[in-house]
Chain A
Amino acid sequence: MANAKIKNIKIKGMSVVLGENEVKFENEPHFYNNDTVQLAKLKKMIGFDTRYTTNFQTTTADLCEQAAKILISKLGIDKNSIDGIVFATQTPDYYMPGNAHVIHRNLGFSKETLSVDLEFGCSGFVYGLFISASMLNSGLKRILLLTGDTLSKLTNPKDRTVTPLFCDTGSAAIIDYDENAKESYFILKSDGKGINSMLQPAGAYRVPSTEETRKDIPDKDGNVRNQENFYMNGLEIFNFTLTEQPKLLNEILEFSGNTKENIDYFVLHQANVYIVETILKKLNIPFEKAPSRVFEKYGNQNSASIPSAICSELYDKFRETKKVLMQGYGIGLSWGACIMDFENTICIQPQIYRREE
C-alpha cells in the first residue's frame, strides 16, 4: 500500500504555459460532418470549447522551460538554490536523455543540481509532488517540478475520440523543504492491467516503427488513427474513473483525518467537464469548492491540469492558509491523491508560449 504522511514540504509557487495556437471547437464542424445537433450536444455535455496546440518546433521542454523562467523570476529566487529538477512527461524532446537534462542545460544549472525524469500522464503532478516531497525529506532543500505534455503531436486529427480533448501545456512548481509546514498526505495507486486502454501502441521497442505501424486505418466509427498515434478507449477509462476516483477521494480524506467539510478546495484532474462533475455529484462535493469547468478554457492538460486549474481558478485564494485536495488519474493506469496546505503560494495565471529570439 502506497500511503504516505510527509512532513516539511510546501509549494512555494506555480506557473503554467500553453501552446501558442488557440483552437476553437466551433471552428471544426467539418470533422463531424457539419452535424450541428451532435456538435451542440458534445459542447454542452463534455465541455468542448477552447484548447491550445504547439507549433511543430515547440516542445514540452520549451513550454516547461518558459514556465520555469516566469516562476523563478516572479519568486525572485536564485536558481542555484534549486537542488533537483524533476520532469514528468510522456512527450520528451528525445527518447534519451530525459527532459530534466534539457532544462538543466538550457537554464544553465550547476553540476550540483540533480536531474530526473518521470514517465507519467494525467497523474503526473501528484506523483511528481510525492517524489519531490520524498527527496526533500532525504536532504534536498528545493525542487523544480515540471509537468506537461504536447499530445497534439501524436493524436491523429481525424480521430475525434482524442484529438479535441487535449491541450499542449507545461507547468512549473517550486517545492521547498519547510519545517513550519503542516503534514501532507498521499495515496498512490496503479493498475497495469489497464495498459491497453490508453497507450501509444507502436513506435518504441516492443512494436518498432515500420511502414505498417504508420498506416492510417479507420475504425468502425470512422475515426482514423495509426499505431503510432495516441489511443484511448474512452468508455473503459470513464468506467475506471467512476469506479476508482470517488473511492480514492474518500480514502485520502479518511487517511488524513479530514472530512469533506474542512477541505477548502478539491482540485481534480480536469479530464473533461462531464467526468469531473460526475465524480463531484457522486460525492456530494459542492461545485464552488471544486473547479469543474477548466476543461472549457483549455481542454485536458494531462499532467499540467492540476497546476493549471489552481493557477487559473484559485490564484488569488492563498493569502490565508487553505487545505487543498489534489487528485490525478490516467494512463498506466495510474492514480493518486494528496492533501496539502497552501499558504502564500504564488500562482501565476496561465500564459501563452512566446518563442524567444
Chain B
Amino acid sequence: MNKSEFLEKMKDILQTDEELKLDMELDSLTEWDSLSKLATVAFLDSDFEVKITFNDFRKIKTIDDLAKKAGI
C-alpha cells in the first residue's frame, strides 16, 4: 500500500468526502472520534499487523504519523 492508497483508506474510515492530506492534524477533523479510532485500530491490525495502543494515539498527531506507524 502506498501513501495515496493509505489516504483513500483513511477517507473511508473517517467516512468523509473531504480530500485528505498527509500533514492534516487528526484532532482537527470532526470525524476523528472514538469510532474512527476503533476502525483505525482494526485497519492497522488487519492490513499491517500493527497494534496501536491508547498511549500511541496521544503521540499520533497527523495522518502521516499514522502512515509511519503502519510502516509506509
User: How far apart are B69's CB and chain A's nearest CB, in angstroms?
Assistant: 14
Which chain B positions have C-beta within 8 A of A315? none
Chain A binding surface, main DSSP class:
helix
Chain B residues in the interface with A (C-beta under 8 A) = 15, 33-35, 37-39, 41-42, 45-46, 51-54, 57
Tell me the minimal C-beta distance from B7 to chain A in angstroms: 21
**Can you sample 17 A-B contacts with CB below 8 Å?**
A38-B33, A41-B35, A42-B35, A45-B39, A161-B34, A221-B34, A234-B34, A234-B38, A235-B38, A235-B41, A235-B54, A239-B41, A239-B52, A239-B53, A242-B42, A243-B45, A278-B46
Contacts A46-B35, A236-B54, A243-B51 aside, 17 further interface pairs with beta carbons under 8 A come to A45-B35, A45-B39, A161-B34, A221-B34, A234-B34, A235-B34, A235-B53, A238-B41, A238-B42, A239-B52, A239-B53, A242-B41, A242-B45, A242-B51, A274-B38, A278-B42, A278-B46
Q: State the CA gap A282–B46 with chains docked (Å).
A: 7
- Contact string against B for A residues 123-165, beta-carbon threshold 8 Å, 1 for contact and 0 otherwise: 0000000000000000000000000000000000000010000
Binding site for B on A (CB under 8 A): 38, 41-42, 45-46, 161, 221, 233-236, 238-239, 242-243, 274, 278, 281-282
Residue of A at shortest CB range from B54?
A235
Taking CB atoms, residues of chain A closer than 8 Å to B34 are 161, 221, 234-235
When distances are taken between beta carbons in the complex, the residues of chain B under 8 Å from A236 are 53-54
Complex-state Cα separation, A243 to B15, whole angstroms: 25
